[in-house]
């Protein structure tokens, strides 16, 4: 598997759909986020000036936006850099929602997570801004829950990503208590005596820079690391293609609580899927701030 970088000027939606979405092949789109006001605007200085007092909590500690940006840029070295530091745009920075419109960038469509049906279930319908400092990395290799496909838009700084092709689950030792996470504690320094099957894995590592968008199809194991101060905006994609797997996951997750909750949640999601499928057929337009 190869992760290509393709400029949106050279890729139609139909090409993306047939060559990447359907076969599940990751892709870096260049200049896709140019349609966003956030592109070329989001930066540590801009956030200090406009949202310096806005707060978020990371691992039980509350930080202001100014404190976060000072830490990731090394202006404050008195304490560790918080990671992963994220803001849910609709809840914490609602003023910015229209700056990432259209959310689908012309490629991540149709997206049923933009429908009000799936906001009630909290099934990945989030638009999150991630802020990271040098060396800040996702704490584990993982798959995205509910078989959702991820779109990660790099708006400031360079971030390194590593992905593994579908079908390499056994080489990554899924955690028995959470099959969506790898049990390997440090993927950059794997103990091959303890995890011998990892010798067969074929990780693909690449850098995503400002103005670039990474599409990670469902079922692709991945992780990330900031190479410098970074700001990115991520969202997930659900539609008719990955909905059957999504529905199965809804059942599995809720079944852990009770059969009654599993029946209720799965029935609700199934009905939402019918509504969204019909909506696609009649050309319903959805907005990320619905």
> Higher-confidence residue: 222 or 137?
222
Give CA torsion, residues 135, 224, 163, 269, to 10 deg: 160
Counting Cα atoms < 13 Å in the Cβ hemisphere of 89 gives 23
The DSSP bridge partners found for residue 214 are 28, 152
CA 251 – CA 256 distance, rounded (Å): 9
Least confident of 15-29, 70-84, 268-282: 70-84
Percent pLDDT > 70 in the chain is: 97
CATH number of this structure's domain 4-239: 2.60.120.650
Give CA torsion, residues 126, 131, 134, 137, to 10 deg: -20
For residue range 5-18, what is the model confidence (pLDDT) as tens digits? 999 999 999 999 99
pLDDT at position 124 is: 66
The DSSP bridge partners found for residue 37 are none
For residue range 132-184, what is the model confidence (pLDDT) as tens digits? 999 888 888 999 999 999 999 999 999 999 999 999 999 999 999 999 999 99
Given pLDDT bands bounded at 50, 70 and 90, which one contains residue 202? Answer: very high
Question: Mean pLDDT of all residues in the chain?
Answer: 93
Cβ-proximal residues to 100 (8 Å cutoff; 6+ apart), any chain: 36, 37, 38, 89, 127, 153, 233, 288
Find, among 48, 47, 7, 44, the residue nearest to 29 by Cα.
Answer: 7
pLDDT at position 122 is: 65
Cβ-proximal residues to 212 (8 Å cutoff; 6+ apart), any chain: 5, 28, 29, 30, 31, 32, 33, 153, 154
pLDDT at position 290 is: 45
Burial of 10 (0-12, 13-18, 19+ CB in 10 A): exposed
Find, among 122, 125, 129, the residue nearest to 114 by Cα.
Answer: 125
pLDDT at position 238 is: 95
Residues 247, 123: contact at Cβ < 8 Å?
A: no
Least confident of 5-9, 121-125, 181-185, 205-209: 121-125
Where along the chain do its domains lie? 4-239
Cβ-proximal residues to 40 (8 Å cutoff; 6+ apart), any chain: 211
CA 246 – CA 270 distance, rounded (Å): 10
Query: What's this model's pTM, rounded to 2 decimal places?
Result: 0.93
């Amino acid at each position: 598997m190869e992760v290509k970088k393709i400029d949106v000027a050279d890729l139609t939606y139909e090409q993306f759909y047939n060559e990447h979405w359907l076969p599940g092949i990751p892709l870096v789109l260049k200049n896709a986020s140019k349609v966003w006001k956030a592109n070329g605007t989001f930066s540590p200085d801009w956030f200090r000036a406009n949202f310096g007092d806005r707060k978020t909590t990371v691992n039980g500690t509350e930080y202001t936006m100014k404190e976060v940006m000072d830490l990731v840029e090394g202006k404050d070295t008195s304490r560790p850099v918080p990671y992963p530091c994220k803001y849910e745009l609709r809840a914490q920075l609602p003023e910015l929602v229209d700056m990432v419109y259209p959310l689908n960038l012309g490629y991540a469509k149709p997206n049923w997570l933009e429908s009000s049906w799936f906001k009630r279930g909290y099934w990945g319908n989030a638009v999150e801004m991630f802020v990271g400092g040098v060396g800040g990395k996702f704490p584990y290799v993982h798959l995205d829950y509910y078989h959702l496909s991820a779109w990660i838009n790099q708006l400031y700084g360079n971030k390194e990503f590593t992905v593994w092709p579908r079908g390499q689950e056994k080489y990554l030792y899924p955690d028995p208590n959470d099959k969506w996470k790898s049990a390997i504690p440090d993927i950059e320094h794997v103990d091959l005596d303890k995890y011998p099957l990892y010798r067969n894995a074929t990780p693909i590592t690449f850098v995503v820079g400002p103005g670039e968008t990474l599409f990670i199809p469902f079922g692709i194991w991945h992780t990330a690391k900031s190479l410098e101060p970074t700001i990115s905006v991520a969202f997930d994609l659900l539609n008719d293609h990955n909905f059957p797997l999504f529905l199965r996951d809804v059942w599995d997750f809720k079944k852990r609580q009770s059969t009654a909750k599993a029946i209720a949640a799965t029935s609700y999601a199934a009905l939402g899927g019918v509504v969204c499928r019909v909506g696609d057929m009649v050309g319903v337009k959805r907005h990320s701030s619905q």
